[in-house]
Amino acid sequence: MFLEKVFSEGLAHFSYVLGDNGRAAVIDPQVDVDIYLDIALENKCRITHVFETHRNEDFVSGSMELQHQTGADIYHGRQLAFQYGRSVKTGDRFEMGDLVLKILETPGHTYESVCLVVSDASIGDTPVAVFTGDTLFVGDVGRTDFFPDKAEEVAGLLYDSIFEKLIPLGDQVIIYPAHGAGSVCGVNMADREFSTIGVERMHNPVLQKTRKEDFVRYKVNERHYKPKYFKQMEKYNLEGPPVAFESKVWTPFTADELKERMQGGMVILDVRSAEACAGAHIPGSLVIPLEMIPAFAGYFLQYEQPIGLVVNDARQAEQADIYLGRLGYDTVQGYLESGMQEWETKGRRFDTISAVHVEILVDRIKAKEAFTLLDVRTIDEFESGHLPNATHIYVGELEDRIDEVPMDRPVTTFCGSGLRAVIAASILKRRNITEVEVCLGSMKACMSYACPVVKEETRG
């Protein structure tokens, strides 16, 4: 009986393959399913079952693709009218050798959410592990802001699912959640990747709110952001995502070819490092450093719009394409060959973004220089401490709130480390705000200096 975890970086998503005696199940597969097939093969198993703990909203489900390639059956919770797969309900039971998977309906994060309880027939019914989906994480619980009209109801459902269904399974049960630290699906997930019901019962901060009303109030007051692309994911994952994204003509472009395509409407996505993009980038390009794509591309990219990449090398282009594919973007058409060299040596104009150190910002603030310090972190991060006179707009909302940025003075973008700041800088430049600097290091660098940090509640 084996159980392997697959980590999807950026999304901080966990999927799982488990099986026994030649049969295997996959929980919450991502769309690039080769890894599951490889794990199954290595364990001499055939994938026969695919379970989705809920309709995922932050990535394209690989269930249909897995079914196509293996003939496996797909199972979901019954509280949503999925247009593919089969419904399950509490008590449903699936066996592979000694491995037993039992369904536990656990509404809250969504109505159709289920957990899967693992037991081992060779020792009896005792629960040994549980796949908790987006219901219970290490150090946090699932977000409950997807049904704003029913905020209290769903928070209450989540309370019941956790306190009346999961905790009673017993302290000895290992938990396998669908996300880890860094996911947008929770706020405060622990960095630790392994835990049990017992450990969470004792130490998960949200589970210390044992009175239902405290729990509900806490959840209702959480503030989350939601990338626009979640809608497309929800649609895909409800209707059944396309099997195998279309094979595409995927090539290196010369500078001339890329330029021509830009004029035809292609968006240029520069996924190189913050420093490289600052050093030189194609005017008008959208900068999202590679590792930020899973969490941020969904705020800025339109489905259907052709995408051309700027990358260090072909391998990076491939990785960017995988990340984008997981979000349902299948319109990458190629990449500028040889990084920016090709562009520069063809004499094309390039743009730069000056990188500034926090020390200079502090000096400017002290000298009361006229400039906009644009802090693009989340509202929670901002309120927990920021530089004086900073303007706050979350990076994901910057395009819609661009008019709030003063045009008459230079702008310095600022975030936690500099990565979101460079995304923001590129967005400002695309909107013709030309005097833009990026603060590399940003808030983390402030920790090493006697920076005058301000704390405040923005909420009324």
Asked whether position 274 contacts its own copies by CB under 8 A, the answer is yes
Among 81, 249, 367, 370, binds its own copies (CB under 8 A): 249
8 A C-beta contact, residue 115 and residue 54: no
Burial of 303 (0-12, 13-18, 19+ CB in 10 A): middle
Stretch that binds its own copies, among 208-216, 339-347, 380-388, 399-407 (CB under 8 A): 339-347
Which of residues 225 and 250 has its CB atom nearest to its own copies in the complex? 250
8 A C-beta contact, residue 337 and residue 388: no
- Min dist CB 368 to its own copies, Å, is 23
Extended strands (E) in 31-113: 46-51, 73-77, 86-88, 93-96, 99-105
Q: Which of 372, 418, 361 is nearest to 395 (CA)?
A: 418
Say how far apart CA 389 and CA 445 lie, in whole Å. Answer: 18
Asked whether position 325 contacts its own copies by CB under 8 A, the answer is no
Asked whether position 344 contacts its own copies by CB under 8 A, the answer is yes
Among 79, 87, 90, 312, binds its own copies (CB under 8 A): 312
Q: How far is CA 398 from CA 74, 325, 375, in A?
A: 39, 24, 11
Which of residues 72 and 103 has its CB atom nearest to its own copies in the complex? 72
- Min dist CB 41 to its own copies, Å, is 5
| Helix runs in 206-330, H state only | 212-220, 230-239, 255-263, 274-279, 293-300, 314-326
Asked whether position 359 contacts its own copies by CB under 8 A, the answer is yes
- Min dist CB 229 to its own copies, Å, is 26
Which of residues 31 and 274 has its CB atom nearest to its own copies in the complex? 274
Which of residues 349 and 455 has its CB atom nearest to its own copies in the complex? 349
Tokens, residue 44:
């001499």
Contacts of 186 (CB under 8 A, 6+ apart): 134, 137, 140, 141, 142, 143, 179
Which of residues 240 and 252 has its CB atom nearest to its own copies in the complex? 252
Stretch that binds its own copies, among 107-115, 155-163, 279-287, 376-384 (CB under 8 A): 279-287
Among 34, 98, 260, 400, binds its own copies (CB under 8 A): 98
Burial of 4 (0-12, 13-18, 19+ CB in 10 A): middle
Which of residues 298 and 418 has its CB atom nearest to its own copies in the complex? 418
Stretch that binds its own copies, among 77-85, 154-162, 277-285, 393-401 (CB under 8 A): 277-285
**Strands 372-375 and 391-392, sheet pairing:** parallel
280-309 residues in contact with its own copies (CB under 8 A) are 280-281
DSSP for 340-363, written as a single string: THHHHHTT---B--EEE-HHHHHH
Q: What angle do CA 325, 329, 334 make, to 5 degrees?
A: 85
User: How many residues of this chain interact with its own copies, rule: CB under 8 A?
Assistant: 90
Which of residues 38 and 404 has its CB atom nearest to its own copies in the complex? 38
8 A C-beta contact, residue 30 and residue 58: no
- Min dist CB 380 to its own copies, Å, is 18
Which of residues 94 and 229 has its CB atom nearest to its own copies in the complex? 94
Among 93, 260, 350, 366, binds its own copies (CB under 8 A): 350
Stretch that binds its own copies, among 49-57, 272-280, 294-302, 383-391 (CB under 8 A): 272-280
Asked whether position 140 contacts its own copies by CB under 8 A, the answer is no
Q: Which strands make up the sheet holding 307-310, listed edge to edge? A: 251-253, 332-336, 307-310, 267-270, 286-287
- Min dist CB 102 to its own copies, Å, is 16
Q: Helix or strand or coil: residue 167?
A: helix
6-35 residues in contact with its own copies (CB under 8 A) are 20, 22
Query: Which of left, alpha, beta for 297 (phi over 0: left; psi -120 to 50: alpha)?
Result: alpha
- Min dist CB 440 to its own copies, Å, is 4
Site string for its own copies, 143-172 (x = CB under 8 A): ---------------------------xxx
Say how far apart CA 151 and CA 200 lie, in whole Å. Answer: 24
169-198 residues in contact with its own copies (CB under 8 A) are 170-174, 190-198
Asked whether position 381 contacts its own copies by CB under 8 A, the answer is no
Site string for its own copies, 38-57 (x = CB under 8 A): ---x--xxx-----------
Residue recorded with tokens 């099997």: 243
Asked whether position 123 contacts its own copies by CB under 8 A, the answer is yes
Site string for its own copies, 410-449 (x = CB under 8 A): -------xxx--------------------xxx-xxxxxx
58-77 residues in contact with its own copies (CB under 8 A) are 68-71
Question: Burial letters for 85-101: b for 16+ Cβ neighbours within 10 Å, e otherwise?
Answer: bebbeeebebebeebbb
Asked whether position 208 contacts its own copies by CB under 8 A, the answer is no
